[in-house]
Amino acid sequence: MNDKPTSAKKAPSSRPDGVVTLEQVAELAGVSPSTVSRILNGTAAVSQVKKDAVHAAIQELGFRPNPVARGLAGGKTLSIGVVTQIISSPFYGEALLGIERELERAGYVPLFVSGNWHEDDERKAIETLLSRRVDGVIVLAGRIADAELAKVSDNLPVVVVGRQLSGPQLFSFSFDNREGARLATQHLVEQGHRRIAFIAGDLLHDDAVERQNGYFDALAAAGIAQDPNLIVQSDYTEAGGMLSVSRLLERDTHFTALFASNDQMAIGACLGLHRRNLRVPDDVSLVGFDDLIMARYSMPPLTTVRQSVYEIGTEAAKAMLDMLRGSQPKATLPGPELVVRESTRRMQR
Amino acid sequence: MNDKPTSAKKAPSSRPDGVVTLEQVAELAGVSPSTVSRILNGTAAVSQVKKDAVHAAIQELGFRPNPVARGLAGGKTLSIGVVTQIISSPFYGEALLGIERELERAGYVPLFVSGNWHEDDERKAIETLLSRRVDGVIVLAGRIADAELAKVSDNLPVVVVGRQLSGPQLFSFSFDNREGARLATQHLVEQGHRRIAFIAGDLLHDDAVERQNGYFDALAAAGIAQDPNLIVQSDYTEAGGMLSVSRLLERDTHFTALFASNDQMAIGACLGLHRRNLRVPDDVSLVGFDDLIMARYSMPPLTTVRQSVYEIGTEAAKAMLDMLRGSQPKATLPGPELVVRESTRRMQR
DNA sequence: TTGTATGCGTTATCAG
DNA sequence: CTGATAACGCATACAA
């Protein structure tokens, strides 16, 4: 225990604070710091003996590498920036959970910043992330220009969800929104509805456009003409859904079914209809999109299109990890699936 | 523009990558790096002339200090760890948003990690945070022992929401759950209800206990005896709320009102009641707690107790910033407030 | 008030 | 396979 005169020039043996450094590990294991680093990162082959000694030392000292120092020295911070839009949204929450879980398994930590559906905020968010030296960036939808994202990917791997981009360090994938929306609308058609209103999301976003296209697809397949009076654009929020119903009703156009392009708007629409004394599904059949938890517990339980938002998160994270380790990223999402609950019914009469 | 022979020993004037360093700023401004650092941190007084020169240089070069290097050198990473339970929960989402917004104003970034309502996970989360060298930790509820949190606060400022702790670097505050629950129950009593069922949260947690106490308070004040048959313990989820209704109904005890101690359980309960052909509020008056967005849009819109979860977030962040700058932390939360909507009504007959 | 020197904990580039 | 040694970008005693 006291083989050395503790008066060595440099004896970081134990510091006042509980911080254990790689250097101490090296000392205890009787090797050089570089060797410890190599073992930690698998940067080079090391003899088994030293490996064991180092691992033992790590155990004994309870050493945990300092990501900050790591970040400075090697450029790797083991953290992944995630640009979300509204962290409090039930939709994004699910995705973030998936990302967090998947990243954690690989020792990475997500750094969440909100873009607030605002281009400037997104840009700032990315700035923040870059200045924090994240190892990669995952972008969930958003408004920032494709070109800007591409530029970011010059320096870092970037995964984008909900767009179609690609590049050497740029990977993107989307849920099949169009097909999902088509299924939803088709379901309504099959129930005998022909006057099917549609609440679109913000058409600045691909996914909103795709969902609208899916709606058109189903209409076309059924030989139903599009009626602009049945379409209203909104913003994916409950309040927006409720307001949309008012707008629709003010137009004095008759409809027996309503497809809201996300669950939140559907929930809001449901209340809006209720306020006008229109019952779901008796007077109006209602379909949502996303299958958030709220869809299952709404009254009546909402027919909707299932997309596993959680899986979108895990897939994005996996793709990022792929890129990080140099392999070809991929993402396989389950296809859209209609979940029929109690907000839709066959048209009467 | 070219006053110096560009063959100086060290001329980091412009690097291949676009990274601008403090050193370059110093060079351009004609001062030493330390001076730039001082200006940036306000560590010492600097002459106005140099200040201006430095600021100009910063502008011109678009310099942004590297938080990673900062973290290594000064021990400050300008990041605050946040231990949340489930990042995807609508409740926590709101709080996180508040934290993020408030922290951002001060140049800090939150690092969210999930505790998953699991002691071990929480411990690991805190470990992760510490190894990331966060400047402080905000803990939202959770299961980890008070003593452990106190220990963490030996090295770092800690803000805990939902418990009663304190110490030199430890600050906590809670929403007045007891009073909120009392208000909710009292409302039911005032509506003429006497058989009021209660769905408790996990009683391992202070807030759940407090809400139950508030329920008891109101009962006592009204001279109504507690009936264990009317109480069921659950877990703050929609599924739990729904299940609780079944459990309640199986007991064959009659009740005309139900107080679910959070909105999510109330929503679940509402569906559960519906499944048994019990109408809200006609057969059963229902009250929730939290006033999440979903409460406003549920069918019927839910009477509940408002607590600004967003503000809980901002207050926690403010308290943390207070501690960080050495001043006494404080947190003032608006008191509980009953929001009467359409899920409750005067008892008939 | 300002500059110099040193260190923060790792990784990476060299020689052996 | 392994060990010195030099960065990484900034903060901070210490001098001046």
Residue carrying structure tokens 């050495």 = B326
- Helix count (H) and strand count (E) of chain A? 13, 11
Angle between helices B309-324 and B90-105 (to 10 degrees): 40
Write the burial class of residue B304 (CB in 10 Å: 0-12 exposed, 13-18 middle, 19+ buried).
Answer: buried
Check CB contact under 8 Å for B93 and A97.
no
From A245's Cα to the closest Cα of chain B, the distance in A is 14
Q: Give me the amino acid identity at B246.
A: S
pLDDT above 90 covers a percentage of chain B that reads 70
Asked whether the beta carbons of A171 and A319 are under 8 A apart, the reply is yes
- B19 band by pLDDT with thresholds 50, 70 and 90: confident
Q: Evaluate if the CB of A13 falls below 7 Å from strand C.
A: no
Asked whether the beta carbons of A136 and A326 are under 8 A apart, the reply is no
Contacts of A113 (CB under 8 A, 6+ apart): A81, A82, A83, A84, A125, A128, A129, B100, B109
Cα dist from B21 to A125, B9, B26, B61, whole Å: 21, 17, 9, 9
Beta bridge partners of B109: B79
The average pLDDT across B236-248 equals: 97
- B12 band by pLDDT with thresholds 50, 70 and 90: very low
B262 inside 8 A of chain A by CB: no
Rounded Cα–Cα distance for residues B209 and B231 (Å):
13
B83 pLDDT higher than 90:
yes
B172 inside 8 A of chain A by CB: no
Q: What are phi and psi of A54, to 5 degrees?
A: -65, -45
pLDDT digits (tens, 9 = 90+) for B248-287: 999 999 999 999 999 999 999 999 999 999 999 999 999 9
Residue carrying structure tokens 């409950």 = A238
pLDDT above 70 covers a percentage of chain B that reads 95
Beta bridge partners of B110: B80
Distance of C1' in C5 from CA in B59, Å? 28
B276 inside 8 A of chain A by CB: no
Q: Looking at residue A92, what is its pLDDT? A: 87
CA–C1' nearest nucleotide, residue A70: C10
Searching chain A, which residue's CA lies closest to the CA of residue B271? A297
B220 pLDDT higher than 80:
yes
Nearest to B85 by CA among A93, A316, A295: A93
Question: pLDDT digit of tens for each residue in chain A (349 aa)?
Answer: 333 333 333 444 566 666 789 999 999 999 999 999 999 988 889 999 999 999 999 999 989 888 889 988 877 888 999 999 888 888 888 899 999 999 988 888 898 988 888 899 899 889 888 878 899 999 998 889 999 999 999 888 999 998 889 998 999 999 999 999 999 999 999 999 999 999 999 999 889 999 999 999 999 999 999 999 999 999 999 999 999 999 999 999 999 999 999 999 999 999 999 999 999 999 999 999 999 999 999 999 999 999 989 999 999 999 999 998 888 999 999 999 999 999 999 987 5
Residue carrying structure tokens 């408004």 = A143
Residue carrying structure tokens 């959970």 = A97
pLDDT digits (tens, 9 = 90+) for B108-150: 889 898 888 889 989 988 988 887 889 999 999 888 999 999 9
- Helix count (H) and strand count (E) of chain B? 13, 11
Q: Looking at residue A12, what is its pLDDT? A: 46
Asked whether the beta carbons of B158 and B136 are under 8 A apart, the reply is yes
CA atoms within 13 A on the CB side of B109: 26
Among partner residues B64, B86, B268, which is closest to A297 by beta-carbon distance?
A: B268
Rounded Cα–Cα distance for residues B285 and B193 (Å):
9
Q: Looking at residue A14, what is its pLDDT? A: 64
Range picked from A104-118, B84-98, B192-206 for highest mean pLDDT: B192-206
Q: Looking at residue B6, what is its pLDDT? A: 33
Q: Best mutation site among B270, B293, B311 for testing chain A: the one with the most A CBs within 10 Å? A: B293
Q: Give me the amino acid identity at A336.
A: P
Residue predicted with more confidence, A348 or B81: B81
Rounded Cα–Cα distance for residues A229 and B128 (Å):
54
Give, as one character, the DSSP assignment of residue A13. S
Q: Which residues from chain A sit within 8 angstroms of residue B155, using beta carbons? A: 17-18
Q: Looking at residue A16, what is its pLDDT? A: 61
Tabulate helix, strand, coil % of chain A (nearest 5): 45, 15, 40
Q: Which residues from chain A sit within 8 angstroms of residue B238, using beta carbons? A: 293, 296-297
B210 pLDDT higher than 80:
yes
How far does chain B reach from its first CA to its final CA, in angstroms? 92
Neighbours of B38 (CB within 10 A): 18
Asked whether the beta carbons of B250 and B240 are under 8 A apart, the reply is no
- Of A275-279, B11-15, B36-40, B170-174, the poorest mean pLDDT is in B11-15
Question: What's the whole-model pTM score?
Answer: 0.86
Q: Looking at residue A5, what is its pLDDT? A: 35
Contacts of B253 (CB under 8 A, 6+ apart): B195, B197, B227, B229, B230
Instruction: Give the residue nearest to nucleotide D9 (CA to C1').
Output: B69
Q: Looking at residue A43, what is its pLDDT? A: 86
Q: Looking at residue B349, what is its pLDDT? A: 58
Rounded Cα–Cα distance for residues A231 and A260 (Å):
10
My answer on whether omega of the bond before B110 falls inside 30° of 0, hence cis, is: no
Residue predicted with more confidence, A40 or B198: B198
Q: Which residues from chain B sit within 8 angstroms of residue A117, using beta carbons? A: none
From A220's Cα to the closest Cα of chain B, the distance in A is 33
Residue predicted with more confidence, B67 or A196: A196
SS3 track for A302-328? CEEEECCHHHHHHHHHHHHHHHHCCCC
Q: Looking at residue B260, what is its pLDDT? A: 98
B267 inside 8 A of chain A by CB: yes
Instruction: Give the residue nearest to nucleotide C9 (CA to C1').
Output: A69
Rounded Cα–Cα distance for residues B314 and B102 (Å):
6
Check CB contact under 8 Å for A88 and B97.
yes
